[in-house]
Amino acid sequence: MILTKDYDYYLPKELIAQTPLENRSESRLMILNRKNKTIEHKHFSDIVDYLDENDVLVLNDTKVIPARLYGHKEDTNALIEILLLHDKGNNVWQTLAKPQRRVKIGSIISFGDGRLKAKCVKKEDMGICEFELIYDGILVEILDSLGEMPLPPYIHEKLADKDRYQTVYAKNPGSAAAPTAGLHFTPELLKKIQDKGVQIVYITLHVGLGTFRPVEEEDLTNHVMHEEYYEISKEAADTLNKAKQQGKRIVAVGTTSTRTLESAYDNGFKPCCQTTSIFIYPGFKFKAIDAQITNFHLPKSTLIMLVSAFAGREFILKAYEEAVKEKYRFFSFGDAMFIE
């Protein structure tokens, strides 16, 4: 049994970042050296000093869609909120619906005077419903005008510029949340990294329920991860395989890139378009990555379990304790750590 409560930690509410910094790369960066168990305090722009020409930096180029929609049931006019999580094909989406009890199979929710309608075709536990989306035109454009950016519930401030909840390299629409470790990069910083000889590889994982569903089991090994869709191109797979053969270090930016690479690695990387429900917790043997950049994660979340698997639970909890003492900013708009 591995206890979920062993991944809890004390966090004062005021350390939860409510807004992004004006300059993305000015956030703080904690350097964790797994071998020596040392902790250093830097700024994110200093990441250049910790990368070299023998590194491959892997970025998740998913783009957050305005996935939160507010509409009314056509029969009762009840207000329903849905969060689009995963495109299952043929205009059917897995969603979180609130309040789910008001939604029945066959219920039709109307958004924006009927520009978009959603018909419930399946109900599951914990608020999950599948809806068939009915519309004329291009869905991404409709969502741009009707939907809201799905900021996490711990962010209470209105986001002045919705692009700040996107990475500067976001390209493939489909996420219900941002891959937040990537929010610290600027075009200028990426250029400096490339100028140093670091190779940059883009992969895609659309962030859905698997990443942010809380662990409610006492024994974390009983937690079930929801599937998330990912893609690795032939070009990316070839670059990664060559890096492995040459003994280069593969640096994953974020837990989403980590989960994608570890899901895809089987005696090498193969091009793929598929889903993963991989759950990484202590005891997991990493085969794909050598270092990772990540933000500070929620207590008892699958993400703090993932970084604990990579760096050791005691070392991570010690680092988090130090981050609280040094008043680091936490979660989506917060500071980052580089675990090498």
Q: 């207000």: which residue's tokens?
A: 79
pLDDT band of 136, cuts 50, 70, 90: very high
Stated as kind and residue range, the H or E segment containing 192 is: helix 187-195
Half-sphere exposure of 220 toward its Cβ, with a 13 Å CA cutoff? 24
Q: Which residues are within 8 A (CB) of 314 and not within 5 positions of it... i.e. 6 or more apart?
A: none
Q: Assess whether pLDDT exceeds 90 at residue 304.
A: yes
What would the pLDDT profile of 23-70 be if each residue is shown by its tens digit?
Answer: 999 999 999 999 999 999 999 999 999 999 999 999 999 999 999 999
pLDDT surpasses 90 at 311: yes
Residue range 288-302, pLDDT digits in tens: 999 999 999 999 999
| Phi/psi at 241 (5° precision) | -65, -40
Q: What are 266's two structure tokens?
A: 């089987």
Share of the chain above pLDDT 70, in %: 100
- Pair 294, 308: CB distance under 8 Å: no
Listed residue (230, 225, 223, 184) closest to 207, CA to CA: 230
Residue 210 has pLDDT above 80, yes or no: no
pLDDT tens-digit readout, 108-135: 999 998 999 999 999 998 899 999 999 9
Lowest mean pLDDT among 96-105, 176-185, 209-218, 311-320: 209-218
Neighbours of 172 (CB within 10 A): 15
Take residue 169 and report the two structure tokens written for it. 């390299």
Distance CA 249, CA 89 (A): 36
Q: Where are the alpha helices (DSSP H) in 52-112?
A: none
Cα–Cα distance measured from residue 283 to residue 220, given in angstroms and rounded to the nearest whole number: 12
